[in-house]
Amino acid sequence: MPIRFHSTLFLVLYLSPIIFGYSPNDVKTWCSQTPHPKLCEDFLSHNPTTTPIKEKSQFFKISTQLALDRAIHTQTNLYSLGSKCRNAHEKTAWADCLELFDFTIQKLNKTVNPVTKCTQYDSQTWLSTALTNLETCREGFADLGVSNNYILPSVSNNVSNLISNTLAINKAPYTSQPNHKNGFPTWVNPGDRKLLQSSSPTADVVVAKDGSGNYKTISEAVSAASKRKGSARYVIYVKAGTYKENVQIKSKNIMLRGDGIGKTIITGSKSVGGGSTTFNSATVAVVGDGFIAQDITFQNTAGPTSGQAVALRSGSDLSVFYKCGFEGNQDTLYVYSDRQFYRECDIYGTVDFIFGNAAVVFQNCNIYVHNHKTNTVTAQGRSDPNQNTGISIHNCRVTAASDLKSVQSSVKTYLGRPWREYSRTVFMKTYLDSLIDPAGWMEWSGNFALKTLYYGEYMNTGPGSSTSNRVKWAGYHVITSTSEASKFTVGNFIAGNSWLPATNVPFTSGL
């Protein structure tokens, strides 16, 4: 249909990314901007809006609401299917799915809620997490080798694809700097900052195995924190000792502070080999936003033949780990989702031992590789090109643990492999010891993701840092541009200048 040019046309073209020749409220036109246009059209035609779609922001809100409605519908179906689980493994994977759908609904609610006043960058983070949750739900069944004909079909791709559409519509650049007021995101209560600004935050409760504190277990202290009024920072001081327990932290703004790496230890031994999903194998799992840990070791003692065994899983937005240790073998540290920062930490493992789909920066950390037949330091899980996620390892050291040092010449160790199609990982200004294979990076399965991944190296040092014999994949980059490398810094990649200063944890904003 021909367009008539009049005085308001240029304003309409400016506000709405329409295709020439179509009305701005044409469903097909709007949906053509998404990766799943047919699904978009089907849902919009069955859920007509009361007003024409005139702006991209309006289209985004409608699309996000559709994804939310569909997620709620799917979760309702899932609840009714628990009785059809045929064994313990299916029940375990089903229970994970219920929890993960709940997390997804929370993230979508947060995105569409006008009270939240989130930035475009916040929205992209939470939508990225919502999509990751649904993939993790499906992975649980694969972890345990079960194929449930009742449950898995109900976890349709529709919700994932609707979320993928919202990511494409929002498309916040991962280098954006959110304009947060007073140096902290607008959706965090200003009062939550108070204790963070203290150089040594006073403990609200003390955990001590010998009974000299308020509680003998960390789980008891965490449970008490969930009953507190308000959401101000709650500091749990954990005295030196080894605490054998599995801990889940769902409350916001919790801080765990110990007596130092190797002194305060939280340990568990759940693993996929032992009947857990990867997601549920974590010794400590953090969900509540704004989590901080300092001077603590997180440990999973499941052996190298037990498969995936997580020491810590963080799905906490704006979480910080300072002077912490992470000990395990395969899948030690699950940087699951949202924005995270690690500073001066020690991380040990063998296969994919820093993995997940958060937007995360490691700075001034020691990464130690154990003796194993083949080692991969990272396995980043970005599955959608519009997710603002990735692993950035900046000014760290990658060396052999004591058990690998004498035999490292006979063991192949790689910087990473692509767990998902758009896997994104960079090593910048990091010392790479001679244990790193000259190829640098390892395939996941044949040619999978080699064109779509983004792996980069920038100004690394050490005997394993030479890029002359690195892989020749289309997605691999020797980064020579400062502006390109700067995309993966604390200031840009996780917008750290807007929230890290309040934590009192040291950080370098740029390169």
Distance CA 355, CA 412 (A): 19
DSSP codes joined into one string, 479-498: ---HHHHHTTSHHHHS-GGG
Torsion of CA 178, 182, 185, 186, to 10 degrees: -110
Residues 6+ apart with CB under 8 A from 494: 339, 340, 341, 359, 360, 361
The residue behind tokens 């001066």 is 344
Which has the closest alpha carbon to 35: 190, 216, 164?
164
DSSP H or E run through 359: strand 359-363
Residue 243: in which H helix or E strand, if any?
A: strand 241-244
* Ordered DSSP codes for 425-471: EEEES-EE-TTB-TT----SSTTTTTTT-EEEEES-BSTT---TT--
* Cβ proximity of 169 and 34 under 8 Å: yes
**Looking at 96, 289, 352, 433, which residue is catalytic?**
352
Q: Which amino acid is at 437?
A: D
* Residue type, position 319, single letter: S
Which residues are within 8 A (CB) of 20 and not within 5 positions of it... i.e. 6 or more apart? 3
CA dist 381 and 417 (Å) reads: 10
**Crossing angle for the helix pair 88-112 and 56-80, nearest 10 degrees?**
150
Tokens at 415, concatenated: 């910087």
**Using CA atoms, how far apart are residues 391 and 393, in angstroms rounded to an integer?**
7
Residue 352 annotated among the catalytic residues of the structure: yes
Positions marked active-site:
352
